[in-house]
Structure 1
Amino acid sequence: MKLTDIIKGTEYELSLFSEEQISELERRVTERMSKKGVDYYLTCLVRKKEIKLTPEEVVRQLYLLVLTQDLGYPVSRMELEYEVTFGREKKRADIVVFDKQQTTSPYIIVELKKPKLKDGKEQLKSYCNATGAPIGVWSNGRQISYYHRKDPNYFEDLSMLPRADQKLSDIISERWKISDLIKKDKLVNERKSLKDLILEMEDEVLAGAGVDVFEEVFKLIFTKLYDEMESGRKPDRNLEFRNYGDTETELKEKLQTLFDQAKEKWQGVFTEDAKILLTPSHLSVCVASLQDVKLFNSNLDVVDEAFEYLINKSSKGEKGQYFTPRYVIDMCVKMLNPKADEKMIDTAAGSCGFPVHTIFHVWQKILEAKGLKRSHLFTLEEKPAECSDYVQNNVFAIDFDEKAVRVARTLNLIAGDGQTNVMHLNTLDYERWDETVKDENWSDTYSEGWKKLKKMRAEKNSNRDFTFDIVMANPPFAGDVKESRILAKYDLSRSVSLEKLKNVPSGATITQGEPTFPEALANSGETVYQMADGTFRKTKLKQASNMSRDVLFVERNIDFLKSGGRMAIVLPQGRFNNSSDKVLREYIADRCRILAVIGLHGNVFKPHTGTKTSVLFVQKWDDVLCPKVEDYNIFFATMQEPSKDNSGNKIYQNTIDEEGNNVPLLDTHGHLIVKHDLFNHDGLTKDGIAEAFAEFAKKEGLSFFADAPLMK
C-alpha cells in the first residue's frame, strides 16, 4: 500500500517528507474491508489508538514524525484535535505542542486541515491569538510555512522551528552566512515563489501601509540582492538582510544603511535621497518574509514573476506588454547562438529577459573556453574580466516604461557589476531621442549607455539605422500608434492601391503582374503594371492614420540590424496567416531571410492574455553572411507541451524516484522545472525545438552555426 494512493486527487502532497518517514508510516498501516472497499488504519503515536487514514491524517501522522524524530519533541508534550475556544464557538487545532515549563500552554500550533495557504494561515492566526501560542505552522505536505506571532496583528515568518533543546530566541538570533541561505532557501524548502511571499506580505501589512507597494518591495529586493552579492564574494561575512533579534527601530536603521550602500554600488535606479518608507513594524514583517529567500539563481524566474506582478497593470497590461517566460527566451537565445564579439539589443526590454539570458549564454562560452565550470551563471562570485566587459560594451536594452527600465537596470547592473546600457527611450519615436537625451535628469542616469549606443549608429547623426548583430524583442501587441509624425517615418504605415490607367505614359516600363509591397514602395512612377485581365495600373501609396505597434516594431527592429544581423521577435499568430498581413510578410521577405517560425502554445502568456503567438527568426540579407537567394528552406515547429494550464499556472516536469513514485524533477538548485518541449534543460529533459533548429542551421550552413559540428 502506498500513501500516495490515499492522497491521490486531493491538494495534499508528500514531497516535504523523507522517503524513510513515508516508508515507516506505510509499514504501520493496516487494511480493513468496508462496504465502500478498502479502508486504511494505523495506531496514532499521540492518541495511542487506531485511526482511519484520510489525506489530512496522512500529512498529520508524517508531521508527527518530523516533530518527534527531526526536532526531538516528546509525544508527552503533544495533543491532537486540541480544543480552542472562541466565545461560544469551539474549534479543534490539528497538532499542539505544549510549552516545556508551562505544560498546559500551547507553544506550537500546527494547521493541516486547510490545504490552501491563505485559508490555513487565517485559521492558524485565530488559533494562536486565542491560545497565545508564539509559533504557528501550516502545511499541506507540499508547501510549509513557519510563523512567529509577535502580536495579534503581525505574524512574522520564521526560518525554521526550534528543536526541543532550543529556544525561539536561538532561532531568531542565529547568524547566517551565504552558505546557510543556499542550504535553507525558502523557495526550495517550502516550495514557494517570491510572488507567493509578496501576496502574503500584502495580506499581512502592505495593503494598508499607505505606501507604493512596487517601490517599497523593489527597494527591499534591490537591497537584498546587494547583501547576497557582498556575502557571496566574502563567504565569512554575516548576511545583514536579517532580523537577529533587533528592535524594529534598529532593524530599520540597519536596512536603510544597507539600502544606501546598494544605491552607491548600483547607481541610476533610485534617487540619492530615496528612503525606505515602511514603518519599522511593517518593515520587520517584510524582512522576516524575504530573509530566507535566495534571489541569486540560475535564471531570473525567482524575481521575474514577482516584478511582473508588481509592475502595475496600467503601465504594462494595457499596452499588451507582458514579460516573456524565461523558457521562451532561452529557446530564442539558443537558436540565435550569440557570440562574445557580437552586440545585441532588446527594443522592448520589459525586465530585460532577452539581454540577461544572452549574457548567460555568452558567459557559458567564455567560461568553457577558460576551462571553468560554474553551477549557475548568475553567480555571486567575481567573474573573469571578459564577462563584465561583454555586459558593459555589447548588451543594450530600451523600454518606454520607466518602472520596467528600473527593474531591467537592476538585473543588468548586477550582471555587469555596476554598469549597464539599459535606457528609458521610446523605441518607435526615435525622432525625439535627441530631445530626450538633453534632459538633465535623463542624462544623469543614462548618459554612459547613450554614448555607447550612439557608436552603433549606421550614420553619425541619425537614430534610425544601427549596426547590431542581434535583436530580440517581444513588442507590445495591443494599441495602435496614431501620431502622424511617427507614422510618417515607417514604410509599413503605408498602404498600396492600384489605379487603373486609360493610357500608358510614354517611356514607362511595363511589368507583368501585380507588384509586391516592396516593389510598390520602390516604384517612383516609371513602372506600370499589366494585370492578368490586360488592364494597366499604376501604384498609389497612402499614409495610414493608425498602425499596430507590433507591425512598426518589425520594421524598426530590422533597421537596428546590420547586414547579416539576425532577429527573434514574438508576434501574434495572425501576422503569419491573415490575408491583411500579406504586406508585412512581403516586406520581411524582401529585407531578410526567414530562418524559422515557432508556434507557441496558447497558454504561454496566460493569465495575462490568451493571444496565440509565434516567434519569427530572420537574418538580414548580406553578400557574405547571408547571400540573397529566391528559394531556401525554412524551419517550422510548433510547441506541443502547454507549459501552463488554462488558468496560467505553470506545469512542472515530473520524474520517477527509486521507489517508483511520481515526484517533481528539480534542477541543480532544487527548483522546479517547467514542462515544455522548447529545449533540453541542462541535460535533465529531452532535446526540443532549439536542438532541432541547431541541427537544421548547421546543415543549411547558416553563418552563426557554421563553426559548430553537426549534431549526432
Structure 2
Amino acid sequence: MLLQEILKNSNYKLDLFSADSIMQLESKITTKESKSGISYYVLCLIRDKEIKLTPEEIVRQLYLDKLINEYQYPKSRIQVEYSVHFGREVKRADIVVMDKLQITSAYIIIEVKKPKLKEGKEQLKSYCNATGATMAVWSNGNQISYYHRKDPNYFESIPNIPTSDKSLKDILNEPFTFDDLIKTDILTIQKRSLRDIITEMEDEVLANAGVDVFEEVFKLIFIKLYDELEGARDKTRNLDFKNYGESDSELKVKIEKLFNKAKKKWEGVFNEDEKIKLSPSHLSVCVGSLEKIKLFNSNLEVIDDAFEYLVNKSAKGEKGQYFTPRYVIDMCVKMLNPTKEETMIDTASGSCGFPIHTCFYVWKQIYKEKGIEASHLFTAEKKIPECEDYVKEKIFGVDFDERSVRVSKMLNLIAGDGHTNVLYLNSIDYERWEEWVKDENWNDVYNEGFKKLKKLRVNKNENRDFSFDILMANPPFAGDIKESRILSRYELSKNANGKLQSKVGRDILFIERNLDMLKPGGRMAIVLPQGRFNNSSDKYIREFIADKARILAVVGLHGNVFKPHTGTKTSVLFLQKWGGEDENGQELCPKCEDYNIFFATMSEPSKDNSGEKIYYPLLDSHGHLVVRHDLFHPHLEGEEPIKQSNESQESFNERMCEYQKRYETYKDLQRDGITEAFIEFAKAENLSFWRERE
C-alpha cells in the first residue's frame, strides 16, 4: 500500500479510516520526479490544487473526506490552513469547519499536524480561544479525541462532533443506554487507555482543583461502575453518569445522588457522609472525560492500570508493593488450577488481582459445567447462586495499605456482586489482629469477613495457622522488619546458630507466614526477588522451604515486568505443602527426597525499558490489545480470510500481505507458553491438583 510507505517511520497511522476512503485517496495520487527523487501529490479536496503528500497531509485529506462524506459538511463550510491571529502573529489551523449561520466564524477546529495528543491539545486550545470555536478535534490517524470548549480554561471530552444537520446539544441530549456505551466506548474507538485519560484530567483540572486526586478519581470510578452495572442489568435505562446538557450545578446534584445510591449498595468503601469535593465546573469536565468509557469488561483490567498509577502516586511503592500485571496473575491461577471446593487467600492483596482472577477462573468452570456461555460482560452480569456462594465463602484478601484495600474491596464487591472478604490487616503482625478487631470503625467495615476468616483457623483462638487450600501473593520487597516482638514469632528470623537477628527482610517473613496459612497439601505461588534463589546468604531460606513443602516450579520473570516502579529481577515460586489427604483418603503431597522441579524463564519482556506495555497487532476476544508475553497463550478472536473488493490487484495484494503478517502472529500466539508446559509437566508428575482433572 503506497500510503503506508509514505507513513513509514512516522507517528501517523491509517487505523481510523475506512478501506474505501484509503483506496479512493490512493487512486488519485500522482507523482513528480526531481533531483531528490520521486514525490507524491494529490488534488486537495478543499483547496482544489495539487498538494504534496506528507504523513500529516495524508491524515488531513482522509479527515476532509470524512467531514464531507460521513459528517455531510458542505465544502463551502470547510477551510484549510485557516488564519488564526495572535496579535501581530498569524498561525494556520489545519482544518476549520465554519459556523452554519455566521459563515465567517470558526465552529470546529481540527488539528492533525501535531502527532502527540498533549501538543495537539495545547495547539487546539490556543486556536479555539483565539477564534471562539466551540469544538475541537485532534487525530494522528491512530487515535482521535473530541473536545467541547466550555470556557477558556476547560475543554471537556465529548464522544464525537455533530453531523452537519445536528448541533452539540443534539450530541449531548441523545438517549444513552449501556448498549450505546458499548458502541461508543472511547477506549476501543479512540484506542486510548483509562490511565492516559486520568493523566490528562489531572493535567487539565485535578492538579489545580485543591483536592486529593486519588480520592476524587476513586469516587468517580466508583460511581461510574455502579451506573454501568445498573445499566447492564436494565438495558432500557439511560445511564446517569453523563452530561445531557445540564448546567454544571445541575450535573453535580445528579452525580451526588448517584454517589449516594452507590454507597448504599456497596457499603464499607466510603463513609456514609462522604461527598464529592470537586467544584461543579471541575466535576463537569471530569464527567465529560469519563462518560464514554466502558469500565466493565471480562477482567476489570481497564481500571487496574488506572489504579496502579493512582496508588503508586500515593507512595505505595515506598513499601516495595507493586500491582502485579494481569498476565502474571493469570499464569499463576492457571498453573495452580483452583476448584470451586477450595479456599484461597492473598496475604498482600493490593488491588486483589489474585483473588478476583481466581474467581473468574472458577466461575468459568462452573458456567462450563452448567452449559452457560460467559460473555464479554462477565463481570456485569448477575451471577448464578453457586458463583455468589463461592466468592462469599471461599475467597479472601488481606493488605496493610488502606487505600489498596479500599480499591480491592470495591473491585471485589463488583466482581462478587456485593460480597467481599477483603480485610485491612497486617499479615505479618498476626498477633495484633485482635486489637484491630476491637476498633469500632474497623469492625463496622470488616467484621463480617473476619468472622469467615476465623472459621479457617487451625486453632480456635490463634491467628497463626490456617487451613487454606491455595495462596497466591506478591508481597512487598522493600524494608526490613526490626521489631523483636514480631521477629520472635518466626523461625526465619533466626540465624544458623538459632539466635534472633536484629532485622529480617519483609518478603522473607512472608514466605514463612504464607506456609503457615496453608493446610497440608495446600499450594502456593509467591513472587520473590531473584536473589532469594541465588544468594549464598539465603541458603537457609531455601532449606526452610524445602523442609516445609515440595518445590513445584520456579518461573523467572523478565526484568521489565514491574517497570516503571522497579527494575528488580523477580521469579515466581510455586510450592505444595507436604502431606494432606483428599476426600478419597489419597495423599495430596507425600514427602519425598528426590523429585523433579519445573524451571522456566520468561523470554518476551511484555514491557519496554520505560515500563510501557508491548502489544501484538491483534485483539483478544474482548477487543483488547494482546500484551506480548510467553507466559501462556491468550484466547484470541481468529481473523476471517480477506476477500477482494472493488480494488486493484495491487491493492488487494497489499492487504493480503498485511493479513498474512497478522495471521502468522495469530498462529505464533497459539503455541504453548510456560503455563501449558507446566500443566504437561504436572500431569506427568501426577501432581494432585492436575491429577484430579484428567
TM-score class, shorter-chain normalisation, is over 0.9
Q: Measure how far apart 1:312 and its partner are.
A: 4.7
* Distance change (3 Å), C-alpha of 1:296 and 1:438: same
Offset from partner CA, 1:214-247 (integer Å, 9 cap, x none): 1111011000000000011111011000010111
Are 1:286 and 2:249 counterparts? no
Query: Aligned equivalents of 2:552 and 2:135: distance in 1?
Result: 59
Contact 2:319 2:479 in 1 (8 A): yes
Are 1:670 and 2:633 counterparts? no
Query: Aligned equivalents of 2:163 and 2:571: distance in 1?
Result: 53
Who is 2:516 aligned against?
559
Contact 1:363 1:377 in 2 (8 A): no
Who is 2:653 aligned against?
none
Q: Secondary structure at the match of 2:679?
A: helix
Query: Aligned equivalents of 1:2 and 1:41: distance in 2?
Result: 12
Who is 1:535 aligned against?
none
Query: Aligned equivalents of 1:314 and 1:197: distance in 2?
Result: 18
Query: Aligned equivalents of 1:28 and 1:618: distance in 2?
Result: 65
Q: Measure how far apart 1:365 and its partner are.
A: 0.2
2:549 to 587, 592, 596: 592
Q: Measure how far apart 1:301 and its partner are.
A: 2.0
- Structure 1: which 5+ residue stretches go unaligned? 497-539, 655-664
Q: Measure how far apart 1:101 and its partner are.
A: 1.3
Q: Measure how far apart 1:314 and its partner are.
A: 5.0
Query: Aligned equivalents of 2:31 and 2:501: distance in 1?
Result: 76
Contact 2:620 2:636 in 1 (8 A): no
Q: Equivalent residues in 2 for 1:169-180 (5 A)?
A: 169-180=169-180
Who is 2:390 aligned against?
390
Who is 1:631 aligned against?
594
1:682 to 635, 644, 666: 635
Offset from partner CA, 1:129-188 (integer Å, 9 cap, x none): 100000000011111110001111111111111011111110011110000001110100
Who is 2:576 aligned against?
619
Are 1:651 and 2:651 counterparts? no
Who is 1:705 aligned against?
690
Who is 1:306 aligned against?
306
State which drifts further: 678-687 or 98-107: 678-687
Offset from partner CA, 1:543-572 (integer Å, 9 cap, x none): 110011111111111111000000000111
Q: Measure how far apart 1:636 and its partner are.
A: 0.9
Query: Aligned equivalents of 2:225 and 2:100: distance in 1?
Result: 39
Q: Measure how far apart 1:377 and its partner are.
A: 6.0
Contact 2:632 2:673 in 1 (8 A): yes
Query: Aligned equivalents of 1:222 and 1:198: distance in 2?
Result: 14
Query: Aligned equivalents of 1:400 and 1:190: distance in 2?
Result: 37
Contact 1:398 1:425 in 2 (8 A): yes
Q: Secondary structure at the match of 1:673?
A: strand
Offset from partner CA, 1:280-316 (integer Å, 9 cap, x none): 1100000000000000012222111111111254541
Contact 1:388 1:415 in 2 (8 A): no
Q: Measure how far apart 1:35 and its partner are.
A: 2.7
Q: Equivalent residues in 2 for 1:8-407 (5 A)?
A: 8-313=8-313, 315-376=315-376, 378-407=378-407
Q: Measure how far apart 1:36 and its partner are.
A: 3.0
Query: Aligned equivalents of 1:370 and 1:19: distance in 2?
Result: 42
Paired amino acid for 1:677: D
Paired amino acid for 1:675: R
Query: Aligned equivalents of 1:187 and 1:173: distance in 2?
Result: 22
Who is 1:510 aligned against?
none
Paired amino acid for 1:694: I
Query: Aligned equivalents of 2:307 and 2:460: distance in 1?
Result: 37
Q: Secondary structure at the match of 1:110?
A: strand
Contact 2:616 2:625 in 1 (8 A): yes
Query: Aligned equivalents of 1:184 and 1:313: distance in 2?
Result: 30
Q: Measure how far apart 1:200 and its partner are.
A: 1.1
Of the two, which has the highest radius of gyration? 1
Aligned identity (percent) is: 67
Contact 1:223 1:258 in 2 (8 A): yes
Who is 1:503 aligned against?
none
Query: Aligned equivalents of 1:560 and 1:584: distance in 2?
Result: 18
Query: Aligned equivalents of 1:575 and 1:251: distance in 2?
Result: 54
Q: Equivalent residues in 2 for 1:364-513 (5 A)?
A: 364-376=364-376, 378-496=378-496
Report the TM-score, using the length of structure 1 for normalisation. 0.91
Who is 1:501 aligned against?
none
* Distance change (3 Å), C-alpha of 1:200 and 1:414: same
Paired amino acid for 1:473: A
Paired amino acid for 1:174: E
Query: Aligned equivalents of 2:32 and 2:575: distance in 1?
Result: 66
Offset from partner CA, 1:589-613 (integer Å, 9 cap, x none): 1111111111111111111111111
Query: Aligned equivalents of 2:13 and 2:613: distance in 1?
Result: 17
Offset from partner CA, 1:355-404 (integer Å, 9 cap, x none): 01101100100100110112236432211111111111100000000000
Query: Aligned equivalents of 1:39 and 1:246: distance in 2?
Result: 51
Paired amino acid for 1:678: L
Q: Measure how far apart 1:2 and its partner are.
A: 2.4
Who is 2:559 aligned against?
602
1:577 to 499, 511, 534: 534
Q: Secondary structure at the match of 1:42?
A: strand
State which drifts further: 399-408 or 245-254: 245-254
Query: Aligned equivalents of 1:557 and 1:595: distance in 2?
Result: 16
Paired amino acid for 1:486: I
Contact 2:352 2:397 in 1 (8 A): yes
Query: Aligned equivalents of 1:62 and 1:591: distance in 2?
Result: 65
Paired amino acid for 2:560: N
Q: Measure how far apart 1:33 and its partner are.
A: 2.6
Q: Measure how far apart 1:476 and its partner are.
A: 0.6
Q: Measure how far apart 1:652 and its partner are.
A: 0.6
Q: Secondary structure at the match of 1:296?
A: coil
Offset from partner CA, 1:453-488 (integer Å, 9 cap, x none): 000101111100100000000011111111111111
Q: Secondary structure at the match of 1:268?
A: coil
Report the TM-score, using the length of structure 2 for normalisation. 0.93
Q: Measure how far apart 1:573 and its partner are.
A: 0.8
2:680 to 682, 687, 695: 695
Q: Measure how far apart 1:683 and its partner are.
A: 4.2
Contact 1:603 1:610 in 2 (8 A): yes
Contact 1:698 1:708 in 2 (8 A): no
1:548 to 498, 502, 505: 505
Q: Equivalent residues in 2 for 1:534-545 (5 A)?
A: 540-545=497-502
Offset from partner CA, 1:398-432 (integer Å, 9 cap, x none): 00000000000000011121110000000100010
Q: Measure how far apart 1:688 and its partner are.
A: 1.1
Contact 2:619 2:636 in 1 (8 A): no
Query: Aligned equivalents of 2:45 and 2:250: distance in 1?
Result: 44
State which drifts further: 173-182 or 6-15: 6-15
Query: Aligned equivalents of 1:377 and 1:97: distance in 2?
Result: 39
Query: Aligned equivalents of 2:610 and 2:79: distance in 1?
Result: 40
* Distance change (3 Å), C-alpha of 1:312 and 1:608: closer
Contact 2:344 2:468 in 1 (8 A): yes
